[in-house]
Amino acid sequence: MTPQTLEAPANSAQRGLPLMARNPAVRAAIDSIVAELERAQSSITGARPADPARAAEAAAWLDRNRAVRGNSTFYPYVGDGFGNGPLVQLADGSVKWDMINGIGVHMFGHCDPRMVRAALEAGLSDLCQEGNLQFNADVLAVAELLVAEAARTSGIRHCFITNSGCMANESALKVCQQKTGGAPRIIAFADCFMGRSTTMSQIGDGPAYRQGVALNVLVDYMPFYDPALGQRSVDMAAWHLRQTIARYPKQHSCFVVEPVQGEGGFNTAPPEFFRTLMGICREAGIPVWADEVQSFGRTERMFHFEALGVGDLVDVVTIGKMSQVCACLMTPEMNPKPGLLSGTFSSSVSAYHVGLRALEIMRDGGYYGPSGRNATLHAAFREHAERLVKAHPACFPPVIDSHGRTQPALYGGTGGMMRLTPFGGDKDRIVKLLHAMFAEGVIAFYCGHGPYHIRFLAPVGVMEPTHMEPVFAIIASALRKVA
């Protein structure tokens, strides 16, 4: 299961590799460490139960978590810093299939030798954190790669890197507001999620995320694509958008679009839906901002706007999670005046090096395209999901949406973004199933706003289609226990 360790590229100076990491003696030491890691990883080949001898140690960690953080976590999870690709080992000695990987951050799973090598190299840098005033060459290497990939099918030419998806989104909003002279309103989709800052929690369409927050952001919500309505959904959203623009002329700073809705339920839409709405905004002079913080790198293209063929209509893009560092990318027309975007830290040196290695592997390793690794893995998910639904029909009743209509799709998503809808989308029963899955050896989460779904963010960098078989065997076992 351990992927083949790759040598450091010959152009290590151009990649921003620290000077000491290019030293032959140091490289030999890193080779030795990585080889020892790979030997140790051979002991992890599948899920396994907790080690009774480690029960007291694990319980002590969980007690410390409750004491210092003031609440308990969703799962009794404390990792011990070891794993093998999609498998993670916890403090209690158990091993689980990690199908959520930190809400999509750990695209290459746990202890991938290539990522460990990059982190070891980063540890030889003179810095722990890169900044916006002072930075090393690794910052430029990451920014150049992101711009080069985005520019293939869009007008994107500039990149500002920051340390979280939420801050990337804050940066995008500032860029759009400056471009439109401080226009106060924002257009967004229903069920969107933008982050948890004061501003982003107000734009996101989740009441629980803004409970108790002083409301001072003006948001107009558009209906997202409804597959049950097809072209009518496109026409209705276009009518709604035109009405909103006419009601508040010259008052909108941006139209923010998740090309694949994440928190909202892994909802997708066809290219003509986005092209129609983005075109209306382009005619009205409203900047289009694509929020790809969750979809970035997981679908059939590195940027999903490319897969949709709408890059020519995108002005600003935000990315994060799998890239380790996060970024706001923009066209030259949107490039802000000096002083608008900055910050003491942009991200850690290790995040830059691990992120760059992950991006390079994803770009060059056959992950993208209709027959790429991302698409192949998603096809395997759908195959196993279909079998599970057929084998347990009582657990998969029709899903009734918020309009009282039956939704036919019991599984869906795209690429590494996968969803499954048991129990008619009932949140309480899905949460019980998630805990049963965790106990059996699979970690997942939920998404959606009613109906709810089981959310999988598979570590597509290291997960193989064959891994779906043991994962779904555990899901089936947990399903029977909960049902």
How far is Cα of residue 24 from the mean position of the Cα atoms in its chain?
36
State the Cα torsion 365-369-372-377 to the nearest 10°. Answer: 130
> Could you tell me which of 411, 415, 360, 416 has the C-alpha nearest to residue 107?
416
* CATH 3.90.1150.10 at 373-482, yes or no: yes
pLDDT band of 385, cuts 50, 70, 90: very high
Summarised one tens digit per residue, pLDDT across range 124-134 is 999 999 999 99
> Could you tell me which of 423, 419, 428 has the C-alpha nearest to residue 453?
419
Angle at 306 between CA 300 and CA 308, to 5 degrees: 85
Rounded to an integer, the average pLDDT of 379-389 is 98
pLDDT band of 357, cuts 50, 70, 90: very high
What residues pair up with 179 in beta bridges, in sequence order?
none
Half-sphere exposure of 256 (CA within 13 A, CB side): 34
The kind and range of the H/E element at 220 are strand 218-222
CB 205 within 8 Å of CB 264: yes
| pLDDT for the residue 12 | 66
CB 146 within 8 Å of CB 159: yes
CB 208 within 8 Å of CB 242: no
Phi, psi at residue 346, to the nearest 5°? -100, -40
Packing angle of the helix pair 137-150, 349-364 (nearest 10 deg): 30
Half-sphere exposure of 379 (CA within 13 A, CB side): 8
CB 422 within 8 Å of CB 429: yes
User: Is pLDDT above 70 for 366?
Assistant: yes
CB 155 within 8 Å of CB 224: no
User: Is pLDDT above 80 for 176?
Assistant: yes
CB 181 within 8 Å of CB 334: no
Summarised one tens digit per residue, pLDDT across range 291-318 is 999 999 999 999 999 999 999 999 999 9
Domain range annotation of the chain: 19-122, 129-364, 373-482
d(CA 279, CA 177) in angstroms, rounded, equals 19
* DSSP-derived pairing of the beta strands 158-162 and 95-98: unpaired
| pLDDT for the residue 3 | 41
| pLDDT for the residue 7 | 44
Q: What DSSP letter does each residue of 84-123 carry, written as one string?
A: EBTEEEETTS-EEEESSHHHHT-TT-BS-HHHHHHHHHHT
What residues pair up with 188 in beta bridges, in sequence order?
221
> Could you tell me which of 154, 152, 103 has the C-alpha nearest to residue 316?
154
**DSSP at 261:** B
pTM: 0.94
Count other Cβ atoms within 10 Å, centred on residue 221.
Answer: 16
| pLDDT for the residue 164 | 95
| pLDDT for the residue 13 | 64
* Six-digit token string for 453: 């779904």
Rounded to an integer, the average pLDDT of 450-458 is 95
Phi, psi at residue 43, to the nearest 5°? -80, -10
The kind and range of the H/E element at 69 are helix 55-69
Summarised one tens digit per residue, pLDDT across range 145-162 is 999 999 999 999 999 999
Please provide the average confidence, as pLDDT, over all residues in the chain: 95
Length of the chain: 483
**DSSP at 74:** S
Rounded to an integer, the average pLDDT of 68-89 is 93
| pLDDT for the residue 269 | 97
**DSSP at 463:** -
CB 438 within 8 Å of CB 72: no
pLDDT band of 6, cuts 50, 70, 90: very low
d(CA 297, CA 322) in angstroms, rounded, equals 7
CB 134 within 8 Å of CB 347: no
CB 251 within 8 Å of CB 229: no
Residue whose entry in the numeric block shows the structure tokens 């969803």: 419
Task: Give the SS3 label for residue 347.
Answer: strand
Summarised one tens digit per residue, pLDDT across range 421-445 is 999 999 999 999 999 999 999 999 9
pLDDT band of 2, cuts 50, 70, 90: very low
List the helix and strand counts (H, then E) for the chain. 14, 19
pLDDT band of 121, cuts 50, 70, 90: very high
Domain 129-364, CATH: 3.40.640.10
d(CA 59, CA 227) in angstroms, rounded, equals 46
